[in-house]
Amino acid sequence: MSDSWRQPRRILMVGLGALTVFYLLAPTLVIVPMSFTEARILSFPPEGFTLDWYERMVTDRQWSTGLANSFQVALLTAILATVLGTLAALGLTRGRFLGRTAVNALVLSPLIVPVVVIAIGMFGLFVQWRIAGSLVGLVVAHTALALPFVVVAVATSLRTMDRNLELAAANLGADPRRSFQHITFPIILPGVLTGAIFSFITSWDEVVIAIFMTSARFRTLPVEMWEQVRQAVDPTVAAVSTTLLVVTTVLLVLLLVVRRQAPAQ
């Protein structure tokens, strides 16, 4: 009759699925209510409701500069990685040149090398170049880390697009630049935006490289949090965690919207 392996014990599967979803989401979400507690220590269930810890996050000098630094680094990383990555994806999918495989491997390798090793390698040299402990050093490091995501996202949309559209544009008299501007780029734009969002998030959440690449004068939010988490923790850390999660989630929802609208054009 119908596909035999698709008639499992339904209840078992649904139960297992619900349990796994719970396991995936619940542990992280436990932090969110804790950030509103009136108690002076992290407690669950939270007591009362207050926004004090959020106020503390944006008024305390260390936390608030960390927040601002994180935004700045993530934004600059997103811009740099998206430009470099989009160009590289175009070259890798359309170009035919000697050493293409090697370049491809180089571009993807930041995904493979353990992040602690990347951090130490970069830190060792960036100190000598005098860009360690600064905005520039961290943006450069995060861009290397984010590049693979942009390249894969853009390359995917390039590989799946219908190149006959470009051919049609050429036949209608468009020169290559016009054809790219009006045909190719709009089609791969969702891929480019995907890459941009992924690189922003990569930088926004990154902590290991940032631990090395920041200094007492220049810290990001995750590094500030890392310093706190290992000592006594007050609910501000829960507020910071919630903020980190909310920004990421909003960006991912944005991404879904971008992708939803893509095929409509």
Tokens of 5: 């392996």
* Interface residue with another protein, options 73, 78, 118, 188 (CB under 8 A): 118
Q: Hey, which bits of 98-244 come out as E strands?
A: none
All residues at 6 or more sequence positions from 164 whose CB lies less than 8 Å from its CB, including other chains: none
- Nearer to another protein by Cβ, of 6 and 61: the residue is 6
* Interface residue with another protein, options 51, 68, 87, 250 (CB under 8 A): 87
* Interface residue with another protein, options 76, 138, 140, 239 (CB under 8 A): 140
Residues 66 to 85: which contact another protein by CB under 8 A?
83-85
CB of 215 to another protein, least distance (A): 13
Helix, strand, or coil (residue 237): helix
Q: Does residue 143 interact with another protein by CB under 8 A?
A: yes
* Cα 243 from Cα 245, distance rounded (Å): 5
* Cα 124 from Cα 35, distance rounded (Å): 38
Count of beta carbons in the 10 Å neighbourhood of residue 159: 11
* Interface residue with another protein, options 38, 68, 124, 162 (CB under 8 A): 124
Q: Does residue 136 interact with another protein by CB under 8 A?
A: no
Residues 150 to 169: which contact another protein by CB under 8 A?
151-153, 156, 163-164, 166-167
CB of 213 within 8 A of CB of 133?
A: yes
* Interface residue with another protein, options 20, 181, 215, 261 (CB under 8 A): 20
Tokens of 248: 């990421």
CB of 19 to another protein, least distance (A): 9
* Interface residue with another protein, options 24, 172, 216, 232 (CB under 8 A): 24
The alpha-helical segments, DSSP class H, found in 161-220 are 164-171, 176-179, 185-205, 208-213
Where is 180: in which H helix or E strand?
none
Q: Does residue 198 interact with another protein by CB under 8 A?
A: yes
Residues 38 to 67: which contact another protein by CB under 8 A?
42, 44
* Interface residue with another protein, options 122, 132, 138, 196 (CB under 8 A): 122
Nearest to 195 by CA among 106, 84, 72: 84
Binding mask 202-231 for another protein (x = CB under 8 A): --xx-xx-------------x--xx--xx-
In this chain, which stretch among 54-62, 71-79, 108-116 interacts with another protein, using CB under 8 A?
108-116
